[in-house]
Amino acid sequence: MPLFLGHAMNPRHIEVIAPNFKHRLSGVTSTIIQLVPLQARSLGIAVLGPGLPAHLPRLRVRDLPRLWTRPAARSVRVFHARRNVEMLAGLVLRDGLRMPMRLVFTSASQRHHTGWTKFLIRRMDAVIATSDKTAAYLQVPSTTVRHGIDTERFAPAPDSAAAKAGLGLDPATRYIGCFGRVRHQKGTDVFVDAMIGLLPWRPGWSAIVAGRATAEHLALERELKARTAAAGLADRILFVGEHRDIDRWYKALHLFVAPQRWEGFGLTPLEAMATGVPVVATDVGAFSELILDGQTGRIVAPGDLAALERAVGEMMDDEPFLGRASAAALAHVRAEFPLEREVAELRAVYERVWAGG
Query: Domain boundaries in the chain?
Result: 4-148+339-356, 160-336
| Whole-number pLDDT of residue 7 | 77
H or E element at residue 84: helix 84-91
- pTM of the predicted structure, to 2 decimals: 0.86
* 38/34 Cα distance (integer angstroms): 7
What is the model's pLDDT at position 3?
A: 42
| CA quadruple 51, 54, 58, 63: dihedral sign | positive
pLDDT at res. 2: 44
Q: Could you tell me the CATH superfamily of domain 4-148+339-356?
A: Glycogen Phosphorylase B; (3.40.50.2000)
CA distance linking residue 64 with residue 222, whole number of Å? 44
Strands, E assignment, 92-204: 101-107, 126-129, 143-144, 174-179
Query: What is d(CA 276, CA 258) in angstroms, rounded to the nearest whole number?
Result: 15
233/255 Cα distance (integer angstroms):
19
pLDDT at 23: 74
CA–CA separation, 344 and 240 (whole Å): 36
Taking domain 160-336, whether its CATH number is 3.40.50.2000 is answered by yes
- Asked, colleague to colleague, whether 4-148+339-356 and 160-336 share their fold, the answer is yes
Mean pLDDT by runs of 10 across the 357 residues of the chain is 59 96 78 92 94 90 96 96 97 97 94 93 97 91 94 95 97 97 95 98 97 93 97 98 94 98 91 98 93 98 96 97 98 96 97 89
